[in-house]
Chains A and B, each alone.
Chain A
Amino acid sequence: MSASLETQTPQLQSIGKPVQHTGQFKRLTRMLFKSKTGTIGFLIVIAVVFMSIFAGAIAPHDPAKTQAAKRLKPPMWMEGGSSVHPLGTDNLGRDVLSRIIYGSQVSLMVGICAVILAGTIGVILGLVSGYYGGWIDSIIMRTVDAFLAIPNILFMLVILAVLGPSLVTLILVLGFTNWVKYARIIRSEVLGVKERDYVKAARTVGASNQRIILTHILPNVISSFIVVSTLSVATTIIAEASLSFLGLGIQPPTVSWGGMLSDGRQYLATSWWVATFPGIAITITVLGIMFLGDWLRDILDPRMKARK
């Protein structure tokens, strides 16, 4: 399988651009379904996206509706459970399944927005750092080192403590602390690309730096960006859940998987399901995104391919 993929990659260099004709699209789907894990990842991601968009239509109950009489009901297959609440209810009598369905909205939104923000900052700084070099490069790279010396989660906690937790600050914080890895990867890619003949040729004919960066360098580093950002959505979702779990992320009444876990933790001894199912939801979603990301890496960037 891997040999056929590698021989096809030269034509696929332009994947970052919109697909221009259906032939390429067809080839892409054919390649997707050739990879087992890629297909699984794709299906999981589609399912989660679908779930979050149509949460209102799919969820059997209002995720915020509390019912004192139905507190901590077990899942339907256990004694005392009923099909009205397939995954049971939490400490306030809210339906766990509905809350998981609604929780996907926060996870995806935070994951995607934070990655876009981090990616934009990281790509710009990486391009500038790699292309111009010199003192700009030194400053940016030392800043990267400084950011890397503080564990991400600690950094995010401190900023959230300062700014106060909310959905917007959470996205800002996740974006602001995660740009570092993009900056490093894009910079190292740029260092390679800028020595190529076509870049030198562009410079010789008098193209401006800005033009060279945007039209000659950016398109050649974008595939690593796509791969890194896909995998980043997965790590960002885990980070969001961790912060919400610690009480500094998403605040109630907004439903988040991390917050559900934190609620459920207090009722572990009697009602295992409250903390178990949101964790499974996070794991499956992250797994799907990671599979999809690995597949993207295999087709977009054979050099980064994991040795199999």
Chain B
Amino acid sequence: MRQYLLKSLLQIIPVLFLISIIVFVLVYCTGDPVSLMLSDTATDEDRRILIAALGLDQPLYIQYFTFIGHLFQGDFGNSFRYDMPALPIVMERLPATFELAIAAMLVATVISVPLGILSATKRNSFLDVLFSGSSVLGKAMPHFWLGIMLILLFAVELKALPVSGRGTLAHLILPAFTLGTGIAAEMTRLIRSSMLEILNQDYIRTARSKGLLESIVVYKHALRNSMIPVVTIMALQTSTLIGGTLITETIFSWPGMGQLIIQAVNTRDMAIVQAAVFVVAILVIFSNLLADILYRVLDPRIKYN
């Protein structure tokens, strides 16, 4: 186990290195940060000083090494919009995004676990067709559109929930549903097929032939094992979740990292964009590692090699 962990951690290093190259190249391609930073009245002399100060007159590989050096110190440069170091600005927005992501995951779990189990145990029944149909529909619907429709129904027509912002629990409901339903759709399908596979196993047949109650067979014997792939998939949703927060936070003016990223992209505030891409990538990489470990802990049959 320890060896496996060590190996996985070591594999992260080249990945982070590649991400640093991708980010560096992207920012390099943005063109001219100098003209964005200078005011219109700046002289050529100001320009030259700034270029030298930023190290932009150095060869490309030197610029990359400087970039990497700063990276190790968590220094992504200053956001020119906030005139502050970029990383703290991004970190400050994380709690709001976590709040939304966790709420969305809760929504997804609460919807998908019962629907998935019911679809599998009542296979090919009306309920199964209905639930499977809804999960396909949930995947086909763009979730930003669903968000707009939810606003239309619950905020504009019924005036039951706030349109946007963060604060009370009521503010959280619509964004969490918007973000959670897409994941719920995916998870319902997965729980159903995982459950179906388990229900065909010999030990389930044995449990049934012993005369156990069907509810004990399903909830005690089958559910536990069918949850193994599901837990993994949930941990693997981090990338989808964070990607989803970009749009969901924009629609609901939720003051999280997603909204910050969209604003930074629109104003070409590349320091923030860089810092955010790195924070997101690290979050995704570690939650994927966590998913991997979780999978192995839950299912001791899997070998470490």
Contacts and interface: CB of A to CB of B under 8 A. Distances in A.
Interface residues of B, number: 49
Interface in A128-169: 142-143, 145-146, 148-154, 157-163
Contacts of B149: 276, 279
Interface residues of A, number: 45
Contacts of A247: 266
A89 B49 CA distance: 54
Nearest to A243: B247
A216 interface: no
A163 B149 CA distance: 32
Contacts of B18: 142-143, 145-146
Interface string B276-304: 11001110110010000000000000000
B145 A283 contact: yes
B239 A148 contact: yes
A286 B140 contact: yes
Contacts of B22: 146, 150
B125 interface: no
Interface in A9-54: none
Interface stretch (A95-103, A183-191, A234-242): A234-242
A161 B281 contact: no
Contacts, number: 137
Contacts of A283: 137, 140-142, 145
Interface in A254-289: 258, 261, 264-265, 268-269, 272, 275-276, 278-279, 282-283, 286-287
A69 interface: no
A158 B239 contact: no
A242 B250 CA distance: 11
B94 interface: no
A307 interface: yes
B193 A142 contact: no
Given A154-B280, A158-B273, A276-B149, A246 B262 contact: yes
Interface in B27-48: 27, 29-30
Contacts of B231: none
Contacts of B246: 151, 153-154, 157, 246
A146 B284 CA distance: 10
14 contacts: A148-B288, A149-B285, A153-B246, A154-B243, A161-B265, A242-B247, A246-B262, A265-B148, A275-B145, A275-B152, A282-B142, A286-B141, A291-B136, A306-B189
Contacts of B250: 246
